Amino acid sequence: MHEMSLAHSMMQQVLALAREHKASQVNSITVLLGPFSGVVAESFAFAFEILKKNETCLHNAVLHLECPDPRYRCLGCGAETSLPLPGQGARAHLDFDFFTEKQCPACASTRLSPLGGRELILQQIRME
Amino acid sequence: MCEACGCQQHEERTEKEKVVDVHEQLLAANSKQAAANRHHIEKMGAVAINLISSPGSGKTSLLEQTIERLKDRLSIGVIEGDPETERDAERIRKKGVPAVQLTTGGGCHLDAPMVHGGLHVLEHMGKGRKFDLIFIENVGNLVCPAAFDLGEHQRVVLLSVPEGSDKPAKYPATFRSADLVLLTKIDLLPYFDFSLDEATAATKLLQPTIPVLPLSAEKGEGMDAWIDYLLGLAPH
């Protein structure tokens, strides 16, 4: 449950920026969660909803989470490709198989090296 | 008042709203401290290794055996992380090496500010001695520690035979963040349904070029390769 500490850390950053811009209210916060960041989007949103209750200027803040598909470079042919992670349902259904089936669409190699994807970035804040 | 619909809120929002583009890391504070820790460790003349695994996969036993083999050649310091107790640090101190215990009071991972405090205590305990290697034994957890840079130079993830060879597939974020994976307790292979090939293949699916070393701290098998790896890291 490190989503709670992450949401807390984000909240501190947002509050500091709100002070800096002399805003009394934050309307929305946009955060990028990389596909390999190990952060569960639902838990992160849940933690934020709890934490924001303690801060008057965040009461109306809406959290937007951007969760892009992971990107890989194929060590076989060098092609760069983006492969979606299966959804929750699909993952439960396929279980271990989905993991072994990830292949380069160009040459079918399974030697795919992840390109980034560990980002956790505070992108934008709308405030007034 | 808003001319379109008569509401008060609407007008305020469109007129006064300010869009601030930040593009800053969410863990910016942790990353900054981690960079400072790395600098601190380098100034101490050392290289730091962050050990991550589930509870009970043999991190402390591996450290005990590693110290046994390296103590005449390298100066070692250890920072131990656990939710509670001083036990791991006491085990390490029995080997004649300074060890700081960080207790998180229930927290599931170490972060860079905690390690910063630990480094100062370690320096104090070392009474001016120079360190070559600093091991940071993270809280036993295969999920949360992956997200926190502590200022280490190398991240080593352990997977023990009793845990099962499917763990890299099930906990990809941690294994993807590793610089080296150790498959530990291989002396127990005859008693468990664990496949070294499957564990290695599952790890290499995440990071095709990562080194994977099987070893048994208890029986010594595979320890030479681990010791060579550490000697290669230590500053000369």
Q: Tell me: do A44 and A9 sit in the same domain.
A: yes
Higher pLDDT pick, B172 / B7: B172
B45 C-beta neighbours (distance < 10 Å), count: 12
Put simply, whether A96 touches B (Cβ < 8 Å) is yes
Mean pLDDT of A39-55: 93
* pLDDT for the residue A124: 96
Residue B1 has pLDDT above 80, yes or no: no
Put simply, whether B179 touches A (Cβ < 8 Å) is no
Mean pLDDT of B36-56: 96
Enclosing H/E stretch for A128: none
Range scoring the smallest mean pLDDT among B5-14, B73-82, B197-206, B207-216: B5-14
pLDDT, tens digit (0-9, with 9 covering 90-100), for B135-154: 999 999 999 999 899 999 99
Q: Tell me: do A11 and A38 sit in the same domain.
A: yes
* pLDDT for the residue B181: 98
Secondary structure (DSSP) of chain B: --TTT--HHHHHHHHH-EEEEEEEETTHHHHHHHHHHHHHHHHTT-EEEEEE--TTSSHHHHHHHHHHHHTTTS-EEEEEEESS-SHHHHHHHTTT--EEEEE-TT-SS--HHHHHHHHHHHHHHHTT---SEEEEE--S-SSGGGG---S-SEEEEEEEGGG-TTHHHHSHHHHHT-SEEEEE-GGGGGGS---HHHHHHHHHHH-TT--EEE--TTT-TTHHHHHHHHHHHS--
Put simply, whether A75 touches B (Cβ < 8 Å) is yes
* pLDDT for the residue B100: 97
CB pair distance less than 8 Å for A113 and B169: no
Percent above pLDDT 70 for chain B = 94
Is there a contact between B17 and A127 (Cβ–Cβ < 8 Å)?
yes
B108 C-beta neighbours (distance < 10 Å), count: 17
- Give the sheet arrangement for strand B133-137, strand by strand: B99-103, B76-82, B133-137, B47-52, B154-160, B180-184, B212-214
Q: A–B: how many Cβ contacts below 8 A?
A: 104
Mean pLDDT of B62-83: 96
* pLDDT for the residue B112: 95
Put simply, whether B34 touches A (Cβ < 8 Å) is no
Q: Tell me: do A78 and A88 sit in the same domain.
A: yes
Q: Tell me: do A55 and A85 sit in the same domain.
A: no
Cα A76–Cα A82–Cα A84 angle in degrees, nearest 5: 120
Domain carrying residue A64: 3-69+116-127
Put simply, whether B23 touches A (Cβ < 8 Å) is yes
pLDDT, tens digit (0-9, with 9 covering 90-100), for A8-44: 989 999 999 999 999 999 999 999 999 888 888 999 9
CB pair distance less than 8 Å for A110 and B146: no
What value of ipTM does the predicted structure carry? 0.77
Q: Tell me: do A60 and A122 sit in the same domain.
A: yes
Residue B10 has pLDDT above 70, yes or no: no
* pLDDT for the residue B7: 54
Mean pLDDT of A63-80: 92
What does DSSP say about strands B18-25 and A120-127: parallel, antiparallel, or unpaired?
Answer: antiparallel
Mean pLDDT of B126-142: 94
* pLDDT for the residue A84: 82
Residue B127 has pLDDT above 80, yes or no: yes
Q: Tell me: do A40 and A80 sit in the same domain.
A: no
Q: Tell me: do A109 and A86 sit in the same domain.
A: yes
Residue B82 has pLDDT above 50, yes or no: yes
C-alpha span between B17 and B70 (Å, rounded): 61
Put simply, whether B8 touches A (Cβ < 8 Å) is no
CB pair distance less than 8 Å for B147 and A38: yes
Residue whose C-alpha is closest to residue B176's, from A128, A118, A108, A57: A118
pTM of the predicted model as reported, rounded to 2 decimal places: 0.81
CB pair distance less than 8 Å for B26 and A112: no
Q: What are phi and psi of B192, to 5 degrees?
A: -130, 155
Q: Tell me: do A81 and A62 sit in the same domain.
A: no
Mean pLDDT of B206-228: 96
Mean pLDDT of A34-61: 92
pLDDT, tens digit (0-9, with 9 covering 90-100), for A78-122: 999 998 876 544 444 444 444 556 788 899 888 888 888 888 999
* pLDDT for the residue A89: 43
Cα B60–Cα B183–Cα B217 angle in degrees, nearest 5: 45
What does DSSP say about strands A62-66 and A26-33: parallel, antiparallel, or unpaired?
Answer: parallel
Is there a contact between B5 and A112 (Cβ–Cβ < 8 Å)?
no
Beta bridge partners of B154: B49
Q: Tell me: do A90 and A109 sit in the same domain.
A: yes
Q: Tell me: do A87 and A104 sit in the same domain.
A: yes
C-alpha span between A122 and A64 (Å, rounded): 10
**Domain B26-230 class in CATH:** alpha beta
Q: Tell me: do A120 and A109 sit in the same domain.
A: no
Is there a contact between B78 and B89 (Cβ–Cβ < 8 Å)?
yes
Is there a contact between B71 and B96 (Cβ–Cβ < 8 Å)?
yes
B43 C-beta neighbours (distance < 10 Å), count: 8
In chain A, how many domains are there? 2
Average confidence score pLDDT of chain B = 92
Task: Provide the CATH number for the domain around residue A50.
Answer: 3.30.2320.80
* Cα dist from B163 to A72, A84, B83, B160, whole Å: 28, 29, 21, 6
| Interface list for B 65-124 with A (CB within 8 A) | 108-109, 111
> How many angstroms separate the CA of residue B129 from the nearest CA in chain A?
35
Residue B12 has pLDDT above 70, yes or no: no
Higher pLDDT pick, A118 / B230: B230
Residue of A nearest to B166 (CA): A96
Is there a contact between B138 and B101 (Cβ–Cβ < 8 Å)?
no
* pLDDT for the residue B29: 84
Enclosing H/E stretch for A88: helix A88-94
Q: Tell me: do A63 and A7 sit in the same domain.
A: yes
C-alpha span between B203 and B166 (Å, rounded): 9
Residue whose C-alpha is closest to residue B136's, from B236, B41, B39, B232: B41
Residue whose C-alpha is closest to residue B23's, from A120, A121, A27, A28: A121
